[in-house]
Amino acid sequence: MRRKQKGLKVLFNASVVLAGIKSPTGASGELIRWVKGRKMNGVISELILEEAVRHADKIGLSVEEMRAKSKSIFEISPAPGEEIVEVYKRVVIDFGDAHVLAAAVTEKCNVLVTLDKKHLLVLKGKVKGVRILSPGELISQCR
Q: Residue 143: its pLDDT value, please?
A: 82
**SS3 (DSSP) at 5:** coil
Please count the other Cβ atoms lying within 10 Å of the Cβ belonging to residue 58: 11
pLDDT at 3 over 90: no
Query: Is the pLDDT at 65 greater than 50, yes or no?
Result: yes
Identify which of 14, 58, 10, 57 has the alpha carbon closest to the alpha carbon of residue 31: 10
Task: Give dist(CA 81, CA 118) in Å, integer.
Answer: 25
Question: pTM of this prediction?
Answer: 0.93
Is the per-residue pLDDT at 1 higher than 80? no
Assign 6 a pLDDT band (cuts: 50, 70, 90): low
Q: Each residue of 66-123: pLDDT tens digit?
A: 999 999 999 999 999 999 999 999 999 999 999 999 999 999 999 999 999 999 999 9
Own/partner pairs for 53-60, CB < 8 Å, 24+ apart? 55/14, 55/18, 58/18, 59/18, 59/21, 59/22, 60/22
CATH superfamily ID and name for 9-142: 5'-nuclease (3.40.50.1010)
* Confidence band, pLDDT 50/70/90 cuts, at residue 129: confident
3-class secondary-structure state, position 10: strand
Q: What is the per-residue pLDDT across 44-62, written as a single tens digit (0 to 9) for each? A: 999 999 999 999 999 999 9
Determine the pLDDT at residue 7: 83
Q: From CA 68, how far away is CA 47, in angstroms rounded?
A: 15
